[in-house]
A = this chain, B = another copy of it.
Amino acid sequence: MATDSVHQVPRTSDRQTRRKNETRAKLIAAARVLLARQGAEATRIQEITEEADVGFGSFYNHFSSKEEIVEAVLSETLVSQAAAVAAVEKEIDDPAEVISAAHRSFVLRARSDPDWGWLLLRLDASHDLVTNALGPFARRDLKAATKAGRLNVPDLGVALSAQGGAMIAVMRSVVDGTAPEDADIFHAEGVLRMLGLPADEAAEVARRPLPAAVTEQP
């Protein structure tokens, strides 16, 4: 097992850390390709290390099981999609629209990439995974919108939990095929109402065209 001891001279430690991070990134990139191609069930750890071109044993320096690397892949896709939404915030003046775009982008992803949706929503840890990956983005967006006076909630923490849980449940209904065509819009409309936007404004904001960058799959 590689160790990054604090007692080593910095230069060696830096190089080791960098190499370790590179190996981790290679493993995640490889797992992502394999998961998309053949699903989690069919993917073996040895295939991941072969695809990543790293030794089989080095897998266990980074992950203790296949489940753990699957969670890491999902976490990375969630964060990179949230980052893609955050990147277009500069073009969107209305902080309520930013929140609508974020929710819609994840509901739409569940429809356009159902394998990813199943993988995410079937996990024991799906709630924690989504909360950890997207919570910081959601908190920042909601704070900005309330500070601007555009939205208001009785309690920030409860509102964040509720909107996260609502999103997961709606994504699940998309993946299992029970959601209607415009589930992303209906869901965003509900979330905006919950966050204090009057119904007529919520309906209008939730139907604004989405920036292309938000719906591209990272």
Contact = CB atoms under 8 A, between A and B. Distances in A.
A154 interface: yes
Contacts of A166: 161-163, 165-166, 169, 194
Interface stretch (A41-49, A73-81, A140-148, A173-181): A173-181
Interface residues of A, number: 39
B173 A161 contact: yes
Contact of A189 (B154, B163, B164, B178): B154
A interface, over-half SS: helix
A169 B173 contact: no
Contact of A154 (B157, B169, B196, B203): B203
Interface in A40-87: none
Contact of A158 (B153, B158, B161, B180): B180
B179 A169 contact: no
A204 to B, nearest CB: 12
B158 A190 contact: yes
Contact of A169 (B162, B186, B190, B196): B162
B172 A127 contact: yes
A215 B36 CA distance: 47
Given A153-B190, A155-B180, A162-B191, 12 more contacts: A154-B203, A158-B183, A158-B186, A161-B169, A162-B166, A163-B166, A164-B169, A165-B166, A165-B169, A168-B169, A190-B194, A193-B195
